[in-house]
Structure 1
Amino acid sequence: MKTTLKVLAGIAVAAFFLWIAFKEVEFEQIIEASKSMSYGWILPFVGCILFAHLMRALRWKLLFTDKEKTPHSITLFTGVMVGYLSNIPFARLGEVTRPVYVAQQVGESNSKLIGTIVLERIIDVVSMLLLMTFVVVFMISSPDILSNLFGMDITDSSVLMSFGWSALKFLGIVALVIAVLYMALKALSKQGGVVEKGFQKFKEIVKTFVDGVLAVRELKNWPLFILYTILIWVAYICMTYIPFYMFDMVETFDLSFADALVITMVSAVGIIIPTPGGVGTYHLFVTKSLFLLFAVPETIGLAYGTITHASTLAVVIISTPILLAIDKYVVLKKGATNGN
């Protein structure tokens, strides 16, 4: 029942943002705008999608400290794609299915690998905030544009302080709940029996989770880790930039790679909002940012957002079963080799 409610809530949020994105645009206009697109750019666009996910898998591999339980790169790549596939029907489910899939393949703890995903997300958020700061300070001329785009002036220090304080309060509440739960289980565990066993299991899960988060302490190849992170963001920006050519937006609206960086950062905000597969939020943020920042008509912007998003989902849906089959073959071959 709880899972059903989460799915319905995600669908409702996606539907709401889709309605906002489409309410001022006729669907026939989007179809018409899509007819003139150059399909030859789809191949390099698909290549950028797969490259970004591969770099994420190779970066993840650096966080495995136990050589005997370090997965094959194909297994990690498959795990990343399984995660994205899970996100399509269920928002954020991929954060769990990705580590669980890989953990099953190598016999590692689920909670430890979930900890490495949390670490990855922290790094992604930090790098995204750095890029956003660069975009806001150096690439967007008018704060009024940001106010229209996000519904608030994110350059206002009081707004940022309020946001930061709200985030700290949320983290504080989470920490308090965990602490109370821990103390309650610890007190009950003194009675022995099932509760004590459950408490010991809880402590073991927490420990392995923390070990996963703290895997960064044992990271030996920081330059390569940073390089993979840079390549992931470069690929994301290319995924924004290449479709500019599909819709002849480079010539018509004089859009550049730097402009693609701006749109990538804005769309990243939309992706953060938990909707299944980023549906609705991505469309709205991309359409509005293209219109407000670069005067791209909303019809073209929405066609751009719809095609790029649908293509991204199609790549995930088509490639994941293929990778699962390849990974199964690699695992079986590795097992046969070890058996000999």
Structure 2
Amino acid sequence: MTKSAKTGLTVSISLLLALVLIWWAMRDVDFNQAWESIQRANYWWILLSFFLGVIAYALRSERWKLLLEPMGHQVSSSHSFYAICMNYFWNLIIPRSGEVARCTTLYTLDKTPVDQSFGTVISERVIDFLCLSFMGLLAVIFNFDLILKLFNEVLALRQDGETESSFTGLFIIGGVALVGLLATIIFWKKIKNLAIFPKIRNFIYGLRQGLKSIFQLKKSGLFIFYTILIWVFYYLMTYLVVFALPETSHLTMADGLYLLLVGGIGMIIPASGGIGAFHSAMRLGFIVLGLGSEIGVIFGFLVHTPHTLIALILGGISLVMMSIEKSSKKAKSA
């Protein structure tokens, strides 16, 4: 199968999954009532959430620059920002492709080696996973009963047979991994002689350099400050939207932690841009809150849609600015 065919298949599957999840989330929603609720919404809160999202992009780009500095790469703020925007833009089209797009964008603009910049992206992912875990821990501490109800709600959707098949799948994956490991050990000398081996070795070395950069930061305090701000903004981007609807305006800050966790779990599902996955997660989350599936879906749209627009708008602007910059460089060199 060609690379373009694989990409097309990936996009098709993620779109199909998004459509299925959107159908599941909205299958019993009263559209007239939902539209009335959307019209009654206070969009100033949603606009504030939108602007916090834009600022979060800028903070992520500045934080990334700090990780690149120990490797000797002085990246401009604009180029780092364009690359971050490309990350989110391409994730809307091809799930999990954004990280590679971010690194290739920076290589195009500043010739920063992809293997090294990708190592810093992995560092970021590790840090963000720890932050999400911490937020999840806070959500469990302050909303233990809600998390337990959510877990039971998810289990209620699964059949016994599906649970058994999932364990079978884990055994198969484990078996394949074990066979692959043994084959690598047995045929290691032959693998080292393959033409592609030096490229793999150099790529792994670049990843190691990127991961090491986090322990070599010259401005570790600023890095921590950016990270805290990013996650505070992520929290507020979700929580502030509760004030946009009369039905949700009574929810507490602790409930906001619960909603952030629910949304984060939904975004793990590889649907295009989290479409359908986020809304389905919010549907379940609001059922547990006792506010009903319909409000959950409406809230999901009010949170997810503006931030999808951010990715599209900033991604489009970045593409235009990058094109102008390339044209300018060509004109100067001519």
Per the shorter chain, which TM-score range? Answer: 0.7 to 0.9
- CA positional deviation for 1:189: 5.1
SS in 1 for 2:52: helix
Q: Which residue of the partner structure matches residue 224 of structure 1?
A: 222
**Equivalent residues of 1:81, 1:320 under 8 A apart:** yes
- AA of the residue aligned to 1:22: M
SS in 2 for 1:24: coil
Matches of 2:183 and 2:125, distance apart in 1: 26
Matches of 1:327 and 1:232, distance apart in 2: 25
**Equivalent residues of 1:59, 1:229 under 8 A apart:** yes
Matches of 2:245 and 2:90, distance apart in 1: 30
**Equivalent residues of 1:7, 1:89 under 8 A apart:** yes
Matches of 1:9 and 1:182, distance apart in 2: 35
Q: Are positions 1:317 and 2:312 aligned together?
A: yes
Q: Which residue of the partner structure matches residue 276 of structure 1?
A: 272
- AA of the residue aligned to 2:190: A
Q: Are positions 1:4 and 2:8 aligned together?
A: yes
Once the two structures are overlaid, the 10-residue window that deviates more, 239-248 or 82-91, is: 239-248
Q: Which residue of the partner structure matches residue 308 of structure 1?
A: 303
SS in 2 for 1:78: helix
Q: Which residue of the partner structure matches residue 13 of structure 1?
A: 17
SS in 2 for 1:126: helix
The one of 87, 95, 98 equivalent to 2:99 is: 95
**Equivalent residues of 1:65, 1:218 under 8 A apart:** no
The one of 230, 239, 243 equivalent to 1:245 is: 243
- The sequence identity of aligned pairs, in percent, is 27
Equivalences, count: 319
Once the two structures are overlaid, the 10-residue window that deviates more, 66-75 or 221-230, is: 66-75
- CA positional deviation for 1:60: 1.2
Distance 1:143 1:189, change over 3 A: closer
Q: Which residue of the partner structure matches residue 42 of structure 1?
A: 46
Matches of 2:305 and 2:265, distance apart in 1: 18
Q: Which residue of the partner structure matches residue 207 of structure 2?
A: 209
Matches of 1:133 and 1:16, distance apart in 2: 31
SS in 1 for 2:235: helix
**Equivalent residues of 2:103, 2:118 under 8 A apart:** yes
Q: Which runs of 5+ in 1 are unaligned?
A: 153-161
- AA of the residue aligned to 1:227: F
- AA of the residue aligned to 1:264: L
**Equivalent residues of 2:282, 2:296 under 8 A apart:** yes
Distance 1:142 1:245, change over 3 A: closer
Q: Which runs of 5+ in 2 are unaligned?
A: 157-165
- AA of the residue aligned to 2:268: I
The one of 63, 88, 95 equivalent to 1:59 is: 63
SS in 1 for 2:67: coil
- AA of the residue aligned to 1:232: I
- CA positional deviation for 1:84: 0.6
Q: Which residue of the partner structure matches residue 190 of structure 2?
A: 187
**Equivalent residues of 1:29, 1:299 under 8 A apart:** no
The one of 250, 253, 257 equivalent to 1:261 is: 257
Matches of 2:102 and 2:192, distance apart in 1: 32
Matches of 2:210 and 2:118, distance apart in 1: 7
- CA positional deviation for 1:125: 1.1
**Equivalent residues of 2:150, 2:285 under 8 A apart:** no
Matches of 2:53 and 2:214, distance apart in 1: 26
Distance 1:172 1:56, change over 3 A: farther
Matches of 1:90 and 1:323, distance apart in 2: 18
SS in 2 for 1:65: helix
- CA positional deviation for 1:332: 8.3
Distance 1:237 1:118, change over 3 A: same
The one of 142, 145, 165 equivalent to 1:141 is: 145
- CA positional deviation for 1:65: 3.1
Distance 1:8 1:316, change over 3 A: same
- CA positional deviation for 1:237: 1.2
Matches of 1:38 and 1:284, distance apart in 2: 23
Matches of 2:215 and 2:262, distance apart in 1: 32
- CA positional deviation for 1:50: 0.6
**Equivalent residues of 2:71, 2:209 under 8 A apart:** no
- AA of the residue aligned to 1:73: S
